[in-house]
Amino acid sequence: MTPVLRRALPAAAAVALLLAGCATEVVPGQASPGPGEPVDVPPEDFPITGVSDEPIDQFARNALADLNTFWESAYPEYFDDEFTPLRGGYFSVDSDAVDEDAYPATGIGCPGSPTSPDSVAGNAFYDPECDLIAYDRALLEELSADYGRFLVPVVMAHEFGHAMQGRFGFSERGIQDETQADCLAGAWTAWVAAGESEHVSIRTPELDDVIRGFLLLRDDVGSDPDDTQAHGSYFDRVSAFYEGFDGGVQPCRDDFGEDRLFTAATFASDREYLSQGNAAFDLIVDWVGTTLPQFWSEVFPAAFGTDFEPPAVEGFEGTAPDCEPLRDRDLGYCPEDFTVYVDETDLAAPAYEEIGDFALTTALALPYSLAVRDQAGLSTDDGAATRSAVCLTGWYEAQWYNDAFAETLPGVSISPGDIDEAVQFLLTYGVDDQVFPNTDASGFELVGAFRTGFLEGGEACELER
């Protein structure tokens, strides 16, 4: 957030309880060996030009083979046409030691579009003119080491999504095409998680790694979303992946039109760019302390038929107050004194410094949402409460996105990257027992709940008594 005005953005949700959309629950993939234990595809059955004997190439081959199997069925079902394999095939390049002799005269291209193998360095892409996929296996090794092995198949699935767009049509808008490919990758990942694949599998914790990996793949904060090379913000890309994971191919086909909401935006001024949209710590605490009670005082009566009484919000340094729900906690809600507590030393300050000001906003809004549930007569210490609190936090933060607090805080509004910071906070701190000790929710589930609240509003946040 920043005390600088920005251009108007499309609304995500109105400040009202009943919003369009039904409640959804993210169900992470279980360990899935497919019909049997995953088996490697023999190189002769699935040739890749320039391939090595390294495990990373075999892993890419396995994923690409399963992608062909998925789309052989899904493409006719959702696009009413026969699936056609990539006529240009697949190319692997080691950017650390390019072997020109491993490729034909056209390199990693085709006669109409020859491409030098070294052009793939640090990248993976689909070439629509040649109908081929090429990747830098040095990049895949790095992604696998830093973000877990399954980010490699997701990268392959994203590029395969572009290959499918090459068949049913590109939108000619970068951010729309890129996030739609993320959605298609999510649909395939759900198919793998359901145990349908033959050559790759995914374990539940790997979904957290995949979502973390999208941080590396997002556009720089403040990038122009209308640029033809735009890929989207962290939230934009993660949200698209969830849409495919939850709903399959159909929403990927139907929900990526011109009216799709994207949170990516440019900085409004040099001042905002220099601060990267981050306001001072004390300002954030003050703004959140003003807007949380305002928001809940407006929507609570419509939801539960009674007025809302704002809880107190207090910080502590290292040692939590003597309240059972806060034992060994860095943040939480204490029903005994109707107070929300946050550890400034071990949570609030580090989250603000390492991630940004909206990480601090999220840290304050999460236990506040538990206080809301308590006042509504709902649970505050189980898995349902955690999911609901995260979802309600997404709903509250959508109001920042919609400029709902413009009259209360003139000149103050959300900045590019703020919603990304909320996702980062959940993946970094939300999975810590000192934040949410009474649930086994994965980071993938928490981010899914936040996304649901942000996009669908309070009705989707498990508020039933």
Tens digits of per-residue pLDDT, 194-250?
Answer: 999 999 999 888 999 999 998 888 888 889 888 888 899 999 999 999 999 999 999
| Planar angle of CA 457, 371, 317, nearest 5 degrees | 120
Q: Return the pLDDT at 274.
A: 85
Confidence band for 433, pLDDT divided at 50, 70 and 90? confident
pLDDT digit string, tens, across residues 177-193: 999 999 999 999 999 99
- d(Cα 271, Cα 417) in Å, to the nearest integer? 15
pLDDT above 60 for 17: no
The better pLDDT of the pair 433, 420 is held by: 420
- How much is the pLDDT for 36? 58
Residue 166: pLDDT over 70: yes
Per-residue confidence (pLDDT) for residue 438, from 0 to 100: 66
pLDDT of residue 434: 81
* pLDDT above 80 for 113: yes
Q: Can you give the pLDDT at residue 465?
A: 67
pLDDT band for position 16 (cuts 50, 70, 90): very low
What's 16's DSSP letter?
S
Arithmetic mean of pLDDT over the chain? 89
pLDDT of residue 133: 98
Percentage, residues of the chain above pLDDT 90: 75
What pLDDT does 172 receive? 82
Q: What is the pLDDT of residues 367-390, one digit of tens each?
A: 999 999 999 999 998 889 999 999
Confidence grade of residue 6 (pLDDT, cut at 50, 70, 90):
very low
- In angstroms, the Cα distances linking 160 to 85, 127, 287, 347 are 10, 11, 44, 40
What average pLDDT does range 53-75 have in this prediction? 97
Q: With 60 as the cut, is the pLDDT of residue 32 above it?
A: no
User: Using 50, 70 and 90 to split pLDDT, how confident is the model at 25?
Assistant: very low
Residue 29: its pLDDT value, please?
Answer: 30
The CA-atom distances, in angstroms, between 28 and each of 87, 155, 269, 397 are 34, 19, 40, 24
| Burial zone of 410 (CB within 10 Å; 0-12 exposed, 13-18 middle, 19+ buried) | exposed
What average pLDDT does the segment 273-296 reach?
93
Radius of gyration for the alpha carbons in the chain, expressed in angstroms and rounded: 23
For residue 300, what pLDDT is reported? 94
Model pLDDT, residue 297: 96
Is 230:219 a contact under the CB 8 Å cutoff?
yes
